[in-house]
Structure 1
Amino acid sequence: MTHDNSARPDISTAHDPIYTAVDLHRRWRLLMEPLGFSEVLLWFTFIDADHLQAPALNQLPIPTSPDPFLSDILMSRLAETLAEMPDLSVALLLSRPGSDGVTDDDMAWARVLTDDAVRHGVTLHPIHRANDVELVPLTVATDSAA
């Protein structure tokens, strides 16, 4: 994983459609920069059939190491929401303090969230991770990318 030294996306792009993984990465950068976090959070938002992000950006405090029960409950609740609005998909970002690279815990969170999303029928976009110095996608082999 490398640092993205490009300029922060312009605020005027905040309502642009999200068509690609690159678009999603830019959106997360716009929402999260400047980087710097004091706790571990899982951020999530919905993206509709027109590729537009919902106005709400939700956050959930999570432990550093994956909690399979918490992941299962979250994906179960998201599945209930998507059952009522099937044209939605979900974008997730894990944020945490630190300046290290992607950790085993980061990847474990991505795997458990992805596995639970698949099991519950939740369509996910590529999961991202932000810390105090970088924002990167977490590639999981079983991603069911939207």
Structure 2
Amino acid sequence: MDDHDIEPLRPPGQLPPLVDQAALERTWCSLMGALGFATPQLWVLLVDGDQPLHVIEVTDLPTEPVDRDVDSIGLLVRQAHQHDLRCAFLYARPGGAPRTPGDLGWARGLVGLDARWPVHLANDAELRVVAPDDLAA
């Protein structure tokens, strides 16, 4: 996806339904705008059925997670599930490709929290879905 494919920025509740992984990727692009990040951050998209509802940004994260970091996000996910909401995750950091051990550490930790949507990783150069092969590497 390039900058020409990015929809105008708008609130999550005004975005199209998430009908597949490509729709989720377009949603991330619409929420983020142009790539470029000052600090490592996590975006948690709360989804009601297939409708994006709200996004939570957690900034100034470590480049590699520790159990406590993932456990804290797990609390948020459990609260969302109590309200019949699902969560989609995007971990973003400054810098470019290739993926780092920290990127994959975050992806491995997040995928176990809510497996409805694939985890996405972004940096200053690209936005990519995390494939099962990436998690096994």
Give TM-score, length-normalised by structure 1. Answer: 0.79
Matched to 2:63, the amino acid is T
Residues 7, 70 of structure 1: CA spacing in aligned structure 2 closer, same or farther, 3 A cutoff? same
CA contact (8 A) 1:35 1:132 kept: yes
Quote the residue 1:136 is aligned against: 128
Quote the residue 1:28 is aligned against: 28
CA contact (8 A) 1:110 1:140 kept: no
Residues 75, 8 of structure 1: CA spacing in aligned structure 2 closer, same or farther, 3 A cutoff? same
The reply to whether residue 110 of structure 1 matches residue 102 of structure 2 is: no
Q: In structure 2, what is the Cα distance between the partners aligned to 1:81 and 1:69?
A: 19
Q: Name the structure with the higher strand share.
A: 2
CA contact (8 A) 1:48 1:89 kept: yes
For 1:1-146, list aligned pairs within 5 A.
4-5=1-2, 7-11=4-8, 15-49=15-49, 51-54=50-53, 56-61=54-59, 62-83=61-82, 85-86=83-84, 88-115=85-112, 117=113, 122-140=114-132
Matched to 1:64, the amino acid is T
Instruction: Give, in angstroms, the shift of residue 6 of structure 1.
Output: 6.3
Q: In structure 2, what is the Cα distance between the partners aligned to 1:12 and 1:98?
A: 23
* Runs of 4 or more consecutive aligned structure 1 residues displaced over 4 Å after TM superposition: none
Greater RCO, 1 or 2 (C-alpha within 8 Å, sep 6+):
1
**5+ long unaligned stretches in structure 1:** none
Q: In structure 1, what is the Cα distance between the partners aligned to 2:6 and 2:76?
A: 32
Q: In structure 2, what is the Cα distance between the partners aligned to 1:12 and 1:105?
A: 28
Q: In structure 2, what is the Cα distance between the partners aligned to 1:64 and 1:125?
A: 22
Instruction: Give, in angstroms, the shift of residue 81 of structure 1.
Output: 2.8
Instruction: Give, in angstroms, the shift of residue 12 of structure 1.
Output: 8.6
Instruction: Give, in angstroms, the shift of residue 5 of structure 1.
Output: 3.3
Residues 18, 89 of structure 1: CA spacing in aligned structure 2 closer, same or farther, 3 A cutoff? same
| Per-residue deviation, residues 83-130 of structure 1 (Å, max 9, x unmatched) | 1x12x2101101110012222211111112223x1xxxx454111111
CA contact (8 A) 1:44 1:93 kept: yes
